Structure 1
Amino acid sequence: MYKGKIVEEGSVKEVLTQPQDPYTKLLLSSVLTVEANDCSLCCNYNNFRPGNF
């Protein structure tokens, strides 16, 4: 949805792997991915307190 309007329809697989709308593409490009062997982006749970994010 963008500004209250549906901008993308399809199965989850279609929308996530082949987005057609520019806004959907922008949202998907903003998702952070962490490689299993890269700990530089891991959360520091020792300092985590609910509401501090």
Structure 2
Amino acid sequence: MDITLAIIVLVGVIYFILIIGAILFIKNKKKGFFTQTVDPKPQESMSTHEELKDK
């Protein structure tokens, strides 16, 4: 009984992590598309992102 419960909990945790990862991936993907569509000059936005990384 304890082994089956442990397996169920383990599978539940794995699914929970996968769902959170998928949500974060979709949000980041939407943000990327949003900045590309709004910004008329993507080269300038790339340079600003690189400057932020340098700081």
> Same fold by TM (over 0.5)?
no
Name the one with the larger helix percent: 2
- Greater relative CO, 1 or 2 (CA 8 Å, sep 6+): 1
Normalising by structure 2, report the TM-score.
0.31
Determine which structure has more spread, i.e. the larger CA radius of gyration.
2
Normalising by structure 1, report the TM-score.
0.32
